[in-house]
Amino acid sequence: MTTESIADRAVAAPAGPERAAAFDHALDVLRDRREEFEEQRFVPRDFIALLKRAGMYRASTPAAFGGEPMPPAAFMKMVERVSAVDPATGWVSSFGSSLVYFAALPAATQQKIYAAGPDVAYAGGLFPMQEAEKVDGGYICSGLWQFASGCRGADILGIGLAGGPESAGKPLTALVDPADVEIIDNWDVAGMKATGSHAIRADRLFVPTEMTFVRGGAPQIDEPLNRYPALAYAAQVLAVVTLGAARGALDYAIEVGSSRTSITGGASKGNRPVYKVGVAEAEAELRSARAFFYETTESVWAKAVDGLEISTEDQALLRLSATHAAHAGRRVVLRAFDLAGTGAIYETHPLQRFLQDGLVPAQHAMLASNTFEASGSLLLGLDAGIPSFP
């Protein structure tokens, strides 16, 4: 990885009103361009630059290297706002949190990565983990890695390697220059189209040892954000996308859908008992899920700031609140779709964006239904039964 390859990246606006205005501007642009992003099936680099101006890609860079680490709740509320406009772009923006993984790299490597500035966009295609050839000074990597969300706008890419004795059997992530790999355009999906989660292919690419790390490995830089559980945070930033999608769908039901009438006539939908009850129950479910989600986040973050032990129970609650948020948010999206009636089945209907994208996060391995069971197992003092959980 060379600093020259990422030297032209955008930088965050000064903290305060100017940065807040940059974020509002990015949301306005997103409202105008979200159909474009969905049609082309990726969020382009010029829009990633707007999110960098808003500070989202220095939010997990260590302060030691010029970053301005954000408390997880503050960052995720930004992701939630983006997702309320376009969930797929929210998904891509959530990876502004992923530089916490880089804390496991040698300090000298981190210094090199951030030499051109702290605003770094990272995307990873980590699975399936490939066997790499161990050679002097590094690894020779070949293979195809799937689901590299945001890869077309990333400054650095990660690929997953099967670990060996040098990593105590734990899988490794190898960091590579986007110019050194091929992006395979295979993202043909019904939901989260704009995430551009294409595959990455490498052919006998040499990666130095110092550019590899164990995902969620021990941080080499001691700052509060690096004490916060990295794998739980990875699940949370995806779950909060669903909360944003649910907010967007429910806002549509309240602000627009309620005034519409059925093609068969009759009172406006908002005056019907079933609509009133549906909106009320959906609002209660969404706000309840958010409360549990952010309350747990703030509690664990306070421990990270104070340098206190973060227990297995704390981590289990983070994972539980994330899974619950993803599934509760999905139910709210479906409730809004149900209230909208037949008109919502058209591809051009505004709720289709939230429906197609909002169903996806709960399908992710980190948020799937079996993580409820794993969380409950840990709360009962039992084995989670899932690798790398919590």
CATH number for the domain spanning 175: value is: 2.40.110.10
For residues 322 and 305, membership in a common domain is answered with: yes
Kindly state whether residues 40 and 181 are assigned to the same domain. no
Q: What is the CATH number of the domain that holds 280?
A: 1.20.140.10
pLDDT at res. 206: 98
Q: Are residues 247 and 354 in the same domain?
A: yes
Q: What is the pLDDT of residue 265?
A: 65
Distance CA 308, CA 106 (A): 24
Burial of 380 (0-12, 13-18, 19+ CB in 10 A): exposed
383 phi, psi to nearest 5 deg: -75, 140
Q: Is residue 390 part of a domain?
A: no
What confidence tier does 2 reach under pLDDT thresholds 50, 70, 90?
Answer: very low
Give the model's confidence band at 84: pLDDT under 50 very low, under 70 low, under 90 confident, else very high. Answer: very high
d(CA 56, CA 12): 8
CA distance 61 to 54: 14
Tell me whether the omega of the peptide bond preceding residue 128 falls within 30 degrees of 0, making it cis. Answer: yes
Q: Cα 312 from chain centroid?
A: 23
User: Residue 266 — pLDDT band, cuts 50, 70, 90?
Assistant: low
pLDDT surpassing 60 at residue 228: yes
The average pLDDT across 315-322 equals: 98
Whether 170 and 236 map to the same domain: the answer is: no
* pLDDT for the residue 264: 63
pTM of the model as a whole: 0.95
Q: What is the mean pLDDT of the chain?
A: 95
User: Between these two residues, 215 and 89, which has the higher pLDDT value?
Assistant: 89
When pLDDT is averaged across residues 78-92 and rounded to a whole number, the result is: 98
Please determine, for residue 7, whether its predicted confidence score (pLDDT) is greater than 60. Answer: no
| pLDDT at residue 165, rounded to an integer | 86
| Residue 365 buriedness (CB in 10 A; 0-12 / 13-18 / 19+) | exposed
**What is the number of structural domains in the chain?**
3
Shared domain for 290 and 148, answered yes or no, is no
The pLDDT-based confidence of 262 (bands split at 50, 70, 90) is: low
Query: Are 270 and 361 in a shared domain?
Result: yes
Residue that finishes a domain, picked among 65, 91, 113: 113
Residue 136 lies inside a defined structural domain of this protein? yes
Residue 279 falls within a domain, yes or no? yes
What does the pLDDT read at residue 8?
60
Q: Find out whether the peptide bond into 72 is cis, omega within 30 degrees of 0.
A: no
Neighbouring C-alpha atoms within 13 Å toward the C-beta of 108: 2
Question: Which residue range forms the structural domain that includes residue 132?
Answer: 122-214
Rounded CA gap, 46 and 108, in Å?
30
Domain boundary among 113, 148, 174: 113
Give the Cβ contact number of residue 221 at 10 Å.
16
Pair (26, 84) in one structural domain: yes
Q: Are 15 and 55 in contact (CB under 8 A)?
A: yes
pLDDT of residue 116: 94
Percent of the chain at pLDDT above 70? 96
Separation CA 275–CA 270 (nearest Å): 6
Q: What is the Rg, in whole angstroms, of the alpha carbon atoms belonging to the chain?
A: 21
Residue 222: inside a domain: no
CA distance 161 to 338: 44
Do 266 and 129 share a structural domain?
no
CATH code (residue 36): 1.10.540.10
Q: Is 221 a domain residue?
A: no
Beta strands in 209-338 (DSSP E): 212-214
pLDDT at position 6:
47
Q: Is residue 56 packed enough to be buried (19+ CB in 10 Å), middle (13-18) or exposed (0-12)?
A: buried
239/273 same-domain check? yes
Residue where one domain finishes, among candidates 113, 139, 158 = 113
Whether residue 1 is predicted with pLDDT greater than 60 in this model: the reply is: no
Report whether pLDDT(53) > 70.
yes
Q: Does any domain span residue 387?
A: no
Bridge partner list, 158: 124, 175
The whole-number pLDDT of residue 305 equals 98
Number of residues assigned to the chain: 390
pLDDT at residue 4, as a whole number: 43
Considering the domain architecture, whether residues 191 and 266 belong to the same structural domain is answered as no
Q: Is the dihedral angle over the CA atoms 28, 30, 31, 32 positive or is it negative?
A: positive
Report residue 263's pLDDT band, with 50, 70 and 90 as the boundaries.
Answer: low
- The 10s digit of each residue's pLDDT in 334-357 is 999 999 999 999 999 999 999 999
Average pLDDT over residues 114-139: 96
Let me know whether 25 and 57 are in one domain: yes
Region of poorest pLDDT, from 18-32, 113-127, 213-227, 246-260: 246-260
Same domain, 322 and 263: yes
Instruction: Give SS3 for 142.
Output: strand
Domain assignment present for 219: no
Q: Tell me, what amino acid is at 326?
A: A
Location of structure tokens 């301005």: 68
Structural contact between residues 64 and 223, judged by C-beta atoms closer than 8 angstroms: yes
Instruction: Give the pLDDT confidence score for residue 60 in this predicted structure.
Output: 98
Residue 270 located in a structural domain:
yes
